[in-house]
Amino acid sequence: MSTPQAARRPAKAKDDRRQALVQAAFNEIAERGFEGLRTREVAAEVGVNIATLHYYFPTKEALIRGVVELAMLKFRSTLSPHGSSAEQLRNHLHAVRQLIRDEPQLGAVMAELALRSARDPGLARVMEETNDAWHRMVRGLLRRAARDGHLRPELDTDDVASVVVATLASTTLPAISGAARADQAVRQLERWLGIADS
Amino acid sequence: MSTPQAARRPAKAKDDRRQALVQAAFNEIAERGFEGLRTREVAAEVGVNIATLHYYFPTKEALIRGVVELAMLKFRSTLSPHGSSAEQLRNHLHAVRQLIRDEPQLGAVMAELALRSARDPGLARVMEETNDAWHRMVRGLLRRAARDGHLRPELDTDDVASVVVATLASTTLPAISGAARADQAVRQLERWLGIADS
Amino acid sequence: MSTPQAARRPAKAKDDRRQALVQAAFNEIAERGFEGLRTREVAAEVGVNIATLHYYFPTKEALIRGVVELAMLKFRSTLSPHGSSAEQLRNHLHAVRQLIRDEPQLGAVMAELALRSARDPGLARVMEETNDAWHRMVRGLLRRAARDGHLRPELDTDDVASVVVATLASTTLPAISGAARADQAVRQLERWLGIADS
Amino acid sequence: MSTPQAARRPAKAKDDRRQALVQAAFNEIAERGFEGLRTREVAAEVGVNIATLHYYFPTKEALIRGVVELAMLKFRSTLSPHGSSAEQLRNHLHAVRQLIRDEPQLGAVMAELALRSARDPGLARVMEETNDAWHRMVRGLLRRAARDGHLRPELDTDDVASVVVATLASTTLPAISGAARADQAVRQLERWLGIADS
DNA sequence: AATGAATGAGAGTTCATTCAT
DNA sequence: AATGAATGAACTCTCATTCAT
C-alpha cells in the first residue's frame, strides 16, 4: 500500500498523537489533579475528537497508564548521576531540587500518582520500583562518597539515603514544603553530608 | 422523661450527626481520594438519606471544609510537645511517626489536602498556617535543645526544622516512603540531632 | 392559662397566620410565577418553619387554592361600581386600569392563574365565574349608560363588553401591553364609548 | 447508496433534531407551562436520551431560548399583511383570531413568555421588539385605511392600534377571554373600525 | 401550635464510552 | 484514522412532605 522508500511513517505519526494525548493528560493531572481529569478536556487540548482519544486509548485507565509511563520516564531521566565522583551527591540534590522547581508539574503528577498508588496495586508496583531505584542510587552515591573520604564513614548509608529521598520527595507537596523551605532543607542536608559549597 | 445524666441534648445530637458525616467524608477521602469522594457514599456510610447530608451541609464543598477542619484538628492535637525539655524533640519525632503509622488515614487526607491546596486558595491558607505552626514548633524545640546543650550549637535551627518537617511530611506518601524507610529516616534524623535513644 | 377577658383569640390568631401565608404565597407567585413558587420561601417570608406551613395547608395545592381565593377577593372588590350612573362606566375603566398600575402584583397573579386554569379544571371554573361576573357587570353598566342616553343605542352591549374586558385584561401582560399602551387603549375605549373626560 | 435527491444531509439532520427538541419543548410549555417543563420529558417526546438533549442544548435555558425563537417565528409569520389595501385590516384581525383558535398552543406559549419576561430581561427585550413590530404594523394598516377613506379620519391611529393589539393579545388567555367572547370582541372591533363584513 | 430533622422522588447536568460512517 | 452523534449511569442538589417531640 506504500512503497518502502516514500512511506508515510504511520507508526511514527500514530506514536506522535499518542504521546500528544498522554502529555495533555499529564498537564491536566498536574493542573487539576485526578479529581479534575476529564478525557474530553484532554482531547480538546490536543485538538481531536473525544472518539479519537478512545481510538488510541480504549479507556481512561489506559490513558492514565500512559501518563504513569511518561512521568516515570521524566523522573528517571534525572536520576542518572553525572559529574566527578566527589560532586555527584551534591549534583543529585541540586538536580532534583531544580527539577521540581523548574517543572513543578512533574512534582504534582508524581505526588498524585503516589496518592493514587494506595488504591491501585499495579501503580503501586511501578512507583515502588522507581522509588527503590532512586533509593539505591542515592545509597550508591553515599557509599562512593564515603569510600572517597568525602563523607563521615560511620554513617549508615541506608538510613541517610532514606532521609535524602524523603526530604526531596516532600518538595512535591508545595503546601507542606514551600520553595524557601525546600531550599533550606536541601542546604541543611548538604551540611550534614559535609558537601556544602562553601 | 429523661434522667439528668442521659438527658436528650438536641444541640449535641445535631453536632453528632454533623461530625459523623464529616468523619465519614474523611474516611472516604482517605480511602478513595477526592477523586472518589461521593456524597451519596458518605450519607450511606452514616446511614442517612442524601438529602439529610444536604440538610447539614448545603454543598459538597461545605462538607469538604468540614473535613479540612477535622484534619487540622487531628493533626494539630499531635503537635503540642510534652515530656521533659531534653526529650521533647525525640518525643515529637516519634509522635508524628506513630500518628501516621497508627492512623494512616490522617496521612492520606493530609496529603490529599496538600495537593488540593494548589487549586484552592482558601485551603492553601489553612494548610500554610498549620504548616508554619508546625515548623515554628519544631524550631522552638531545636532552639531549646541547643540552649540546653542537647544539640550542636552551630546548627541553623530554621534549616534543620525544614529537614525535620520535610522528612516527617513525606511519610504521608506511602508510595514514596514505605514504613521501613520512614523508620530509617527518623532514626537517622535522631542521630544527626544527637538525640538517639541508645 | 388565660382568663376569659384577656383570652388569646386562637381562631383569630390562626386565621391571621393563614392569611399571612397566603399573602406571602401571593407575593411569591407575583414575583417569580408558579414556576418559581417554593413553599420554603413562603414559610420563610412569614418567619415560620416549613412544617408550620404544612400545619395550615396540608399540601402546596391547598396553599395555592388559598391564593386563588385571595386573588378573586382582591379583584372582585374593585368590580363593584360606584359613582353616579353616568360616570360609573368611566369610573370602572379607570379603577381597573389604576388597580393594575398600583398593584401590578395582582395583575401578575391573575395572569398566572389564567394560564394555570388551562391545566386545572377547578381553577378554570373559578376563573370563569369571576370573569362572567365581570363581563355581566360591564354589560350592565353599558346598558344603563345606553338607557340614560350616554351611549349610542345601536351598540351590542355584549360585544362591547367583550372588547372592554379583553382590553382591560390584557393590561395584566406587561410584556404585551406596556403602561403607555395600556393608557392609550383605555383612552381610545372611552372615545368610542363617548365617555371621554374632555 | 443514496439518490442525489434524498441524499443524507448531516447538517440538515442535526438541524432537524434540534428543531424537533425545540418543538417538543414548545409543546410541553403549551401543555404544562414553564412550571411543568421537564427536560427529560422533552427528550422522551423526541425519543432520545436526556444526554442527547444536552448535546444540542447545554442547558435548559438554552433550550428555552430556542423555544422563544420558534414562538417569535411562528407569530411573526402571521403578521405580514396580505390582501388588497381595503381588506388588510380585516384580514389581520381574522388571521390573528384564527391563529389563536387553530393553534392555541402558540397562544399559550406567547402568554407564558409574556409572564416570564417580567423576570427575564433578555426575553423582555425580544418580546418588546416583537410587540412593537406588531403595534407598528397595525398602526400602518390603520393609517392606510384612513388615507383610503375606509376609516374615520379623526381616529388616533396609535391609540386605536393599542386597543386592537390589546384585544387580540387577550385571546391568548383562554380563562379570561373564552372563544365566544374573543369572537364578540373582534366583531365589535370591526364595527368600530367600520370594516365589518355585512 | 410549632418545629428541627429527615426523606423519597426527581430535577438538571456530566462523563466515559460506543457506534455508524 | 477520525468524527459527530448518541447514550447509560451516575452525579450533586432540590423540594414537597412527614414525623417525633
Contacts of C191 in chain D (CB under 8 A): 159
What pLDDT score does D198 carry? 54
Q: What is the count of structural domains for chain D?
A: 2
Cell numbers linked to A61: 485507565
**Do B66 and B25 touch, CB atoms closer than 8 A?**
yes
pLDDT of residue D148: 86
What pLDDT sits at residue D1?
Answer: 40
Indicate whether B51 and B73 sit together in one domain.
no
Please state the rounded mean pLDDT for residues C22-31.
98
Say whether the CB atom of D9 is under 7 angstroms from strand E. no
Query: For position A5, what pLDDT does the model report?
Result: 46
**A120 located within any domain:** yes
CATH code of the domain in which D183 resides: 1.10.357
Q: Which nucleotides of F are covered by protein (CB under 7 A)?
A: 1-20
Q: Domain check: are C94 and C181 in the same one?
A: yes
Of C137, C158, C185, C166, nearest to D178 by C-alpha is C166
Q: Are the beta carbons of C162 and D35 separated by less than 8 Å?
A: no
Q: Which three cell numbers stand for residue D114?
A: 409574556
Q: Nearest nucleotide (C1') to the CA of residue C14? A: E1
In a domain, C169, yes or no: yes
For the stretch B156-179, pLDDT in tens is 999 999 999 999 999 999 887 788
CA–CA min distance A148, chain B (Å): 21
How many other CB atoms sit within 10 Å of the CB of residue D151? Answer: 21
Nearest CA to B26 out of B102, B108, B101 is that of B108
pLDDT of residue A86: 63
Across the range B99-107, mean pLDDT stands at 94
Grade residue D194 by pLDDT with cuts at 50, 70 and 90. Answer: confident
Claim to verify: residue B100 and residue B130 sit in the same structural domain:
yes
Over residues B124-162, the pLDDT tens digits come to: 999 999 999 999 999 999 999 888 888 887 889 999 999
Cβ contact D32–C119 (<8 Å): yes
Question: Grid coordinates representing A6?
Answer: 516514500
For residues C175 and C182, the model is more confident at C182
Residue A173 CB-half CA count within 13 A: 33
A3, A4, A12, A19 from A7: Cα distances, Å: 5, 5, 11, 21
C4 Cβ nearer than 7 Å to chain E strand: no
Q: How far is B170 from chain A (nearest CA, A)?
A: 5
In whole angstroms, E7 C1' to C150 CA is: 66
The whole-number average pLDDT for the span C11-30 is: 91
Whose CA is nearest the C1' atom of nucleotide F3? A49
Q: Residues near C17 by Cβ (< 8 Å), separated by ≥ 6?
A: C46, C48, C52, C56
Structural domain includes residue A1 = no
Chain A to chain B Cβ contacts (< 8 Å): 156
| Alpha-carbon gap: C153 to the closest alpha carbon of chain D (Å) | 14
Q: Which sign, positive or negative, has the C-alpha torsion D30, D31, D36, D37?
A: negative
At which of C34, C49, C64 does a domain end?
C64
> Does B2 map to a domain?
no
Residues A18 and A73 grouped into a single domain: no
Structure confidence at residue A141 (pLDDT): 92
Query: B67, B138 in Cβ contact below 8 A?
Result: no
Q: Let me know if D87 is exposed, middle or buried by CB neighbors in 10 A (0-12, 13-18, 19+).
A: middle
User: What pTM was estimated for this model as a whole?
Assistant: 0.92
Which residues on chain B are in Cβ contact (under 8 Å) with A124? 175
Asked if A88 and A144 touch (Cβ cutoff 8 Å), the reply is: yes
- What Å value separates CA D37 and C1' E9? 17
Confirm whether any atom of chain E, the nucleic acid strand, is less than 7 Å from CB of C55.
Answer: yes
Q: Contact at 8 Å (CB) between C171 and D197?
A: no
In a domain, B63, yes or no: no
pLDDT digits (tens, 9 = 90+) for C139-150: 999 999 888 888
**Last residue within a domain, chosen from A64, A89, A106:** A64
Question: How many Å is the Cα radius of gyration of chain A?
Answer: 20
Note down the domain range covering C32. Answer: 10-64
Of residues B35, B162, B163, nearest to A35 (C-beta) = B35
Predicted confidence band at D159 (pLDDT cuts at 50, 70, 90)?
Answer: very high
Instruction: Identify the residue whose cell numbers are 490513558.
Output: A63
| Separation of alpha carbons D56 and A125, rounded Å | 44
Gap from C5 CA to chain D (nearest CA, Å): 49
Q: Does residue B1 lie in a domain region?
A: no
Q: For residue B5, name the pLDDT band (cuts at 50, 70, 90).
A: very low
Nine-digit cell string for C16: 391571621
Long-range contacts of B148-154 (CB under 8 A, 24+ apart): B148/B85, B148/B86, B150/B86, B150/B89, B150/B194, B150/B195, B151/B89, B151/B193, B151/B194, B151/B195, B152/B194
Residue C88 domain flag: yes
D140 lies in the same domain as D163: yes
- Quick count: other Cβ atoms within 10 Å of Cβ B43? 20
Same domain, A77 and A170: yes
Which residues lie closer than 8 Å to B149 by C-beta, 6 or more apart?
A: none
Find, among A82, A45, A81, A89, the residue nearest to A63 by Cα. Answer: A45
The whole-number pLDDT of residue B185 equals: 96
**Residue C153 approaches strand E within 7 Å at CB:** no
Q: What is the DSSP letter of B57?
A: -
D151 and D183 together in one domain:
yes
Residues B80 and B29 in one domain: no
Q: Note the strand E nucleotides within 7 A of protein beta carbons.
A: 1-20
C155-169 burial, b at 16+ Cβ within 10 Å, e below that, comes to: bebbbbbbbbbbbbb
Burial (CB < 10 A; 0-12, 13-18, 19+), residue D8, is exposed
Q: How many CB atoms lie within 10 A of CB B108?
A: 25
The nt closest to C52 (CA vs C1′) is E2
Angle, to 10 degrees, between the axis of helix B85-102 and the axis of helix B60-79?
140
Note whether D79 and D168 are same-domain residues: yes
Tens of pLDDT, residue by residue over C82-115, are 776 668 888 999 999 999 999 999 999 999 999 9
The CA R_g of chain B, rounded to the nearest whole Å, is 20
Other CB atoms within 10 Å distance of the CB of residue A80? 9
Question: Where is the domain boundary, C21, C38, C64?
Answer: C64
Classify D48 as helix, strand or coil.
Answer: coil
C-alpha span between D43 and D22 (Å, rounded): 10
Residues C181 and C108 in one domain: yes
Question: Do residue C181 and residue D165 have CB atoms under 8 angstroms apart?
Answer: yes
What pLDDT digit, counting tens, does each position of D39-58 carry?
A: 999 999 999 999 999 999 99
Q: Residue D129: which of D62, D170, D75, D176 has the closest Cα?
A: D75
Structure confidence at residue D183 (pLDDT): 95
Residue A100 is classified by DSSP as: H
D104 and D173 housed in the same domain = yes
Look up the CATH number of the domain holding residue D53.
Answer: 1.10.10.60
Whether residue C75 is found in the same domain as residue C57: no
Helix/strand/coil (H/E/C) assignment for every residue in chain C: CCCCCCCCCHHHHHHHHHHHHHHHHHHHHHHHCHHHCCHHHHHHHHCCCHHHHHHHCCCHHHHHHHHHHHHHHHHHHHHCCCCCHHHHHHHHHHHHHHHHHHCHHHHHHHHHHHHHCCCCHHHHHHHHHHHHHHHHHHHHHHHHHHHCCCCCCCCCHHHHHHHHHHHHHHCCCCCCCCHHHHHHHHHHHHHHHCCCCC
Residue A173 sits in a domain of what CATH number? 1.10.357.10
Helix (H, G, I), strand (E, B) or coil at A83: coil
In a domain, D198, yes or no: no
